[in-house]
Amino acid sequence: MNHSKQTVQTQQNTIASTLFQAESWKNAFIKLLPQHVIKNPVMAIVWLGTLITLVSTILGQSSLVFGLLVTLILFVTVLFANYAEAVAEAKGRGQASSLRQARQNLTARRIHSKDDMDGVQISAAELNMHDLIEVRAGELIPADGEIIQGFATINEAAVTGESAPVLREAGTDKSGVIGGTKVLTDRIIVQVTAEAGNSFLDRMIALVEGSNRQKTPNEIALGILLTVMTVTFIIVVVSLPLIGHFLHIEISPILLVALLVCLIPTTIGGLLPAIGIAGMNRALKANVIAKSGKAVEVAGDIDVLLLDKTGTITYGDRQATAFYPLTGVTESELRQAAVLTSLADPTPEGKSVVALAKEQGERVAEPEQAEFIAFNASTRISGLNLADGHQVRKGAMDAILKFASQNLENHAELKARVEQIASKGATPLVVAKDQNLLGVIELSDVIKQGIKEKFARLREMGIKTVMVTGDNPLTAAAIAAEAGVDDYIAEAKPEDKLTCIRTEQNKGHLVAMVGDGTNDAPALAQADIGLAMNSGTQAAKEAGNMVDLDSDPTKLLSVVEIGKQQLITRGALTTFSLANDVSKYFAILPALFVAAIPQMHVLNVMQLGSSESAILSALIFNAIIIPLLIPIALRGVKFKPSTSTQLLRRNMLIYGVGGVLLPFIAIKAIDLLISPILAL
């Protein structure tokens, strides 16, 4: 039974692969049309050269066999270059087809207010910005939006590929939802944040299909360089008949075209679009949506990485582990006050305080007519104001001291206890009632496994890591040392991230950061690379230039590697392509003039059989090297952490020296094969 299933699966994979190849070859031929080929100036020249050799052969300016062979080889060269781009695009379209399925035939229950229990059933395409929709368990979310009421577990497998459900809740940094995902439990009210046709899925589809792919600055610059080189060689080749006329040498247009094609950077010209598309696809494979190819490449150039401690370096589920009352305060008094401050605290930390107190036998009734004070990043305090006028607060030590109008110098015990907790990497929360300090709550968090090795890897790449945390300096220092980050910012407010980014940028650094909340949006927008979490708010996702579908803050480390791999791949293949031209020069040039100028024979270092075999061998190599390099262009050159000097040395030795030597060997081998055939 299993065998038959495997056989069917193998047959399906074979059929899919065959269809994939057929689609790629079909698109390769379509790209021969003028409106497509003109987008790649280098290959446009090769295609024009193909037509010139065909016309010249028909007009009898060369032997029929030789002329047709040159024409065929040139045609195959253009076709292979088109095929490289078509394969990269086809991979993207394959990813897009599954995304399209996620948004088909979506309907929505539009409501007028949060209290509207009925609503009107409409097509998802009719939804507008700010519309309210109700989604119940078992239904698909019809549009991108923010949950404004309720919470639910959601299956995002259609978008992220991850089958494990995720929790999304109103009023948190995990309130964002994507159209096409499925609500598994409960009922939520969502406010639409994207117009029809401009949803997250729509943008993903456009990006992966390549229809909305913007060329990166590096790609544009390289394209301009290749165009300038091509124009230069055109001028050189066009001038050769004039030189030949003075030397009484007549040069065939077919030979001139062959020389031009071998001298211009056809290899990198043919592979350049595929490299760009493949970079976007690699990012998507890592479940990261880059809003442009520029973002992928900039990620490869960053040298400062700004990371939140919670959820990035640590697991982020800090739990209360102990209560430490100060002298004169009973444990029960401290627990009572800690629970009161946490009753309305929705955070995991707040809930853990209540849970720990209950474990230790504390029972606290929720007070009536109390005013709850929610935690915010600016004050770093939460608590409540009781009806009898008492104020109970918990928070960071400096914030509580300010609240209680106390001076640290007068509280040596508190200072010692806070330092003791902080020194082991835990977070101390000080509790106060009115002007009286009661004690400290210990919150413990765990550093993620393998994070230290990742930071060491980044350091090898020359990237500085900065941890941002609201913790006090002692806790921050302990965690920074354990995690292996280069620097840290303690007691940080949201605006501190922005200040840090601007400071580093003013020093000439490129900065990347991760964020998910609305308060992260300014910093995400300011950073050179802003990686927003898919689970985060719409503001964060709009501000960032990348979105991580897995909502994994450590994903930025992978993004950096993808960016560097993109840059290295383009640099390596460019070096290889230009090095190839040196070898092809020694094959073609002697073949043009050796008959009229015997002294040119000294340049025939490869000792090729004849002028015709030399030209054909060089052209054949020029054609076949493109498909041979397609796997490298799509997969990318393997990346190893190293300095720029090491990368340059490796690039020149492997792709520079290799790019010169390989054509000599290959062209000679091809010449040995075809010379006997041409002699017939």
How far is the C-alpha of 133 from the C-alpha of 113, rounded, in Å?
A: 9
Percent of the chain clearing pLDDT 70 (strictly above): 88
How far is the C-alpha of 590 from the C-alpha of 240, rounded, in Å?
A: 13
**H or E element, residue 204:** helix 200-209
In terms of Cα–Cα distance, which of 583, 584, 597 is closest to 259?
584
Q: With 60 as the cut, is the pLDDT of residue 572 above it?
A: yes
Q: Which of 65-79, 206-220, 314-328 has the lowest mean pLDDT?
A: 206-220
> Which residue is catalytic, options 144, 308, 445, 520?
308
**Strand ranges, E, within 30-186:** 107-111, 120-123, 132-136, 145-149, 151-155, 166-169, 176-177, 182-183
**Strand ranges, E, within 310-377:** 319-325, 371-373
Query: Which residues are paired to 308 by β-bridges?
Result: 468
Q: What is the mean pLDDT of residues 47-54?
A: 93
More confident residue, 658 or 604: 658
Q: With 50 as the cut, is the pLDDT of residue 227 above it?
A: yes
Burial 90-100 (b: 16+ CB within 10 A, else e): bbbbbbbeebe
Which pLDDT tens digit goes with each residue over 84-122? 888 877 766 665 565 566 556 678 889 988 888 778 888
Q: Which of 60-69, 150-159, 658-667 has the lowest mean pLDDT?
A: 150-159
Cβ distance 72 to 13 under 8 Å? no
Give 155's contacts (C-beta < 8 A, 6+ positions apart): 163, 165, 181, 182, 184
In terms of Cα–Cα distance, which of 292, 285, 290, 300 is closest to 92?
285
In this predicted structure, what is the pLDDT of residue 98? 58
In this predicted structure, what is the pLDDT of residue 47? 94
Which pLDDT tens digit goes with each residue over 450-470? 888 888 888 888 888 898 887
In this predicted structure, what is the pLDDT of residue 446? 74
Query: Beta-carbon neighbour count of residue 383 at 10 Å?
Result: 29
Cβ distance 261 to 619 under 8 Å? yes
Q: Which of 159-168, 317-326, 362-371 has the lowest mean pLDDT?
A: 159-168
Query: Which residues are paired to 530 by β-bridges?
Result: 513
Query: Beta-carbon neighbour count of residue 510 at 10 Å?
Result: 17
Q: DSSP string covering 295-318, please?
A: HHHHHHH--EEEEETBTTTB-S--
| pLDDT confidence tier of residue 53, bands split at 50, 70 and 90 | very high
More confident residue, 47 or 94: 47
The amino acid occupying position 251 is I
Which pLDDT tens digit goes with each residue over 481-501? 888 899 998 888 777 888 889
Query: Beta-carbon neighbour count of residue 105 at 10 Å?
Result: 8
Q: What is the mean pLDDT of residues 380-397?
A: 87
Q: With 50 as the cut, is the pLDDT of residue 15 above it?
A: no
Q: What is the mean pLDDT of residues 509-524?
A: 83
Give 152's contacts (C-beta < 8 A, 6+ positions apart): 135, 137, 167, 168, 183, 184, 185, 186, 187, 188
Q: Which of 48-57, 91-100, 129-138, 582-591 has the lowest mean pLDDT?
A: 91-100
Q: With 70 as the cut, is the pLDDT of residue 13 above it?
A: no
Residue with tokens 């474990």: 359
In this predicted structure, what is the pLDDT of residue 211? 46
More confident residue, 592 or 69: 69
Cα–Cα distance list, 567 to 218, 526, 588, 647 (Å): 9, 23, 32, 11
In this predicted structure, what is the pLDDT of residue 175? 83
Q: With 90 as the cut, is the pLDDT of residue 75 above it?
A: yes
How far is the C-alpha of 510 from the C-alpha of 545, rounded, in Å?
A: 14
Q: With 80 as the cut, is the pLDDT of residue 222 above it?
A: yes
In this predicted structure, what is the pLDDT of residue 316? 67
Q: What is the mean pLDDT of residues 22-43?
A: 86
In this predicted structure, what is the pLDDT of residue 439? 92
| pLDDT confidence tier of residue 16, bands split at 50, 70 and 90 | very low
Catalytic annotation on 308?
yes
pLDDT averaged over the chain? 82
Which pLDDT tens digit goes with each residue over 527-561? 988 888 877 777 777 888 888 877 777 787 788 88
Cβ distance 520 to 497 under 8 Å? yes
In this predicted structure, what is the pLDDT of residue 68? 92
Q: Report residue 515: phi and psi, to 5°.
A: -160, 160
In this predicted structure, what is the pLDDT of residue 93? 64
